[in-house]
Amino acid sequence: MRSRKFKNKVVATLVIFSLLLSLFVVASNNIQKVEASSKLGDILFLRPDFSENNLKGTDHGSKVMALAVKEYQEKYGGKVKFVFADYNGWRTKLLAMAAAGTPVDVISVWETDIPSFYTRGLIQAVDNYVNLKAPYFDKNAMENFKYKGRHYAVVGKGASVPWGVIYNKDLMLEEGIDESEMPYELFKRGRWNWDTFEKLAKKLTADTNKDGKIDRYGVTFWNGMVLAYFNGTPFVGIDKNGNVKLNFDSAALQRALNFYRKGVKEGWLTTDWNIVSSGMKKRQTAMLVAPYYKFDQDRRDCDDEILFAPQPFGPDNKNKYYHFVLGIAWAIGKGCKNPVGAGKFIELMHEADQKVPQDPAPPLPKEVTEAVNTMAKKPFYFYAADSYLLTVIPRWEILGAIESADSVAAGLASLRPRAEKAIKETFYGTGTKPIIREFKPFVVNFDDGKIDKIKAYDPNKKTVKFTLVSGKEAIKGKSLKVTWDASKDGNEVYILTDPSKIKVYGWHDYKVSFDIKVMKNVKPGSTKVVCSILSEPKVGATSYGSVSKNIDRGQTVYRVEGNITNIQDNSENMCLRIGVQNGGDFIIDNIKVEELK
């Protein structure tokens, strides 16, 4: 899905926006006082996809972090120890460390995390540890993450940004669209709504190379769920008493999702992540609905003139709220060993931003500044309520259900049981409490002549057989060969590691690798090797992660490797599942699973 390269670019941009306008620390009586000469000790720091190696970077964000780390060590005599986790597994890592009695001191958070982290007891109030009156903090934004009179997230000025419509002005002019009919001018004249938005998207959708397929979309959405927010409603509601409930029966929500579904079905709207990533530069989309920081990246990358307009309101957004997101915010782990040091490091990050020169940027067009200022007058963090849902059910699963069902109502109905469970787990704290077990890395090869660590996945596939092969047929020494009758058992077969002999546990992040050779029925573009971890060794078990590789040539050894993370499961019968889809007999060897560092 998302490419790591693109994520790194976005993360760097997020930091630029999240650490702005630092001046100096203003002393406050209610803050725990720490003299510069005090020794505070080490702190644990977790931000997804960020490690000590990032401190060597030359971008603004890396330089800011490097300076903050250096000043923390000089002023307070402690080290900043980085806890690495990728974007898929960082929340699981956080839960696992808390359960193991080593909660993280400084945690990067987003509005989708803060309410559920608070209710699940993962973060603590920051009021006693951070000078929230400092001029580089966004006081208005922080009020949105206040519970029982105390703040649970530190938000820097510039970290709170609106969603809007990024659009290619030059492309629109080439297509004969008058400037008065472009997004910002429509907004200025009070005509920027879903009707004009759809009309423009349809007109700009095209098959430019005349091969019968759309290769330029009118609009691409970073996240199609935001149409609900543009229509003034989240997927999860919070009443005046703080209780949470699903909004699935809301007419406003269903109207927004029907608009999204219509655009996908008619072909003028897409959420293809490759187009989100580079579609503006490649002219694969005329408009992109995304956070403001994506506009800042695209205007640097594109040769065309790229502009930014406010969100088009849906018909039910009577309060005219604009959807805002946090580029990044900071929290302090509950029960961490050094909350005082954590607070000081958060301040130092924002102070360092003032000292490090900003990366050069072209001046903002007047209409972009006006658009951002207009939206900043009525911000709302719709993601905050939906965090109770999104921490359990990813947005692509929600949108997938809406696209594939017979109707929006049917799609929401299919999601309801999981959604209600998600709310109970995240809001009411009934979710799985981590049980941390020791994992021992393992390698399975077959040089000893034994195949007892491997078993068949589906007992109903009676023709599946295991044999040992050697010589030229083997991958190395002796290898396992899996054969079956495709006329009886189809073209998809899996094997499992036996959990009674090899242990895989939840709450760990894994690096998985193996060698495989598909012997027959290879269909280029269709045959694939897939791997995941199951909660138990049976058909229908919960599956975690996905490592895959396309197979284009038969009787050729392929090395398959990847990471499986975010396994929130306490099962003692977990196993590795490996198989071939749309293929035939295969030979496998050198199955290796180790802890991801």
Going by pLDDT thresholds of 50, 70 and 90, the confidence category of residue 119 is confident
pLDDT for residue 9? 45
% pLDDT > 70, the chain: 92
Instruction: Say what the alpha-carbon torsion angle 482, 485, 489, 494 is, to the nearest 10 degrees.
Output: 10
Phi-psi domain of 422 (left: phi exceeds 0; alpha: psi -120 through 50; beta: other): alpha
Instruction: Say what the alpha-carbon torsion angle 451, 453, 458, 462 is, to the nearest 10 degrees.
Output: 20
Instruction: Determine the Cα angle at 218 with ends 214 and 219, to 5°.
Output: 115
Tell me what the pLDDT averaged over the chain comes to.
Answer: 89
Taking CA atoms, 316 is separated from 27, 190, 233, 385, 590, in Å, by: 45, 16, 8, 18, 57
- State which of 32-36, 66-70, 154-158 shows the largest mean pLDDT: 66-70
| Element at 185 (helix H, strand E) | helix 183-188
**Is residue 570 classed exposed, middle or buried when 0-12, 13-18 and 19+ CB atoms within 10 A define those classes?**
middle
Distance between CA 485 and CA 261 in Å, rounded? 41
Going by pLDDT thresholds of 50, 70 and 90, the confidence category of residue 346 is very high
Amino acid at 230: F
CB 4 within 8 A of CB 299: no
Which residues have CB under 8 Å from 220's CB, separation 6+? 269, 270, 271, 272, 275, 276, 279, 284, 285, 287, 288, 289
pLDDT for residue 390? 80
Half-sphere exposure for 158 (CA within 13 Å, toward CB): 17
Instruction: Say what the alpha-carbon torsion angle 245, 251, 254, 259 is, to the nearest 10 degrees.
Output: -140
DSSP letter (8 states) at residue 330:
E
Distance between CA 478 and CA 504 in Å, rounded? 24
Q: Is 268 helix (H, G, I), strand (E, B) or coil?
A: coil
Read off the tokens for 530: 């897939």
Going by pLDDT thresholds of 50, 70 and 90, the confidence category of residue 12 is very low
Distance between CA 164 and CA 532 in Å, rounded? 37
pLDDT (average), residues 495-499: 98
Distance between CA 531 and CA 494 in Å, rounded? 9
Range name among 312-316, 324-328, 390-394 with the lowest pLDDT average: 390-394
Distance between CA 95 and CA 62 in Å, rounded? 26
E-strand stretches of 334-405: 379-380
Instruction: Determine the Cα angle at 369 with ends 367 and 373, to 5°.
Output: 115
What is the model's pTM? 0.69
Q: Which domains does the chain have, with CATH numbers?
A: 4-159+327-355 (3.40.190.10), 161-324+365-426 (3.40.190.10), 442-595 (2.60.120.260)
CB 569 within 8 A of CB 431: no
Which residues have CB under 8 Å from 496's CB, separation 6+? 454, 455, 456, 457, 534, 537, 575, 576, 577, 578
% pLDDT > 90, the chain: 71
Give the bridge partners for 482, in sequence order.
Answer: 466, 586
Asked if the model's pLDDT at residue 29 lies above 50, the reply is no
Report residue 524 CA to chain centroid gap: 30
E-strand stretches of 281-364: 285-291, 306-309, 322-326, 329-333
Asked if the model's pLDDT at residue 534 lies above 70, the reply is yes
| Element at 270 (helix H, strand E) | strand 269-270
Give the chain's end-to-end CA distance (angstroms, integer): 22
Read off the tokens for 168: 């290619």
Distance between CA 113 and CA 122 in Å, rounded? 10
pLDDT in tens, 186-204: 999 999 999 999 999 999 9
CB 275 within 8 A of CB 285: yes
Q: Roughly what angle, to the nearest 10 degrees, separates helices 292-301 and 273-282?
A: 40
pLDDT in tens, 349-389: 999 998 999 877 778 889 999 999 999 888 888 877 787 78
Give the bridge partners for 544, in sequence order.
Answer: 533
Range name among 34-43, 100-109, 505-514 with the lowest pLDDT average: 34-43
Going by pLDDT thresholds of 50, 70 and 90, the confidence category of residue 89 is confident
Give the bridge partners for 549, in sequence order.
Answer: 529
Distance between CA 465 and CA 448 in Å, rounded? 19
Going by pLDDT thresholds of 50, 70 and 90, the confidence category of residue 451 is very high
Taking CA atoms, 574 is separated from 472, 542, 552, in Å, by: 34, 10, 31
Asked if the model's pLDDT at residue 478 lies above 70, the reply is yes
Distance between CA 236 and CA 258 in Å, rounded? 18
Nearest CA to 455 out of 539, 554, 559 is that of 539
Going by pLDDT thresholds of 50, 70 and 90, the confidence category of residue 240 is low
Distance between CA 551 and CA 529 in Å, rounded? 7
Sheet strands side by side (includes 492-497): 454-456, 492-497, 575-581, 528-534, 543-550
What phi and psi, each to the nearest 5 degrees, are found at residue 216? -140, 115
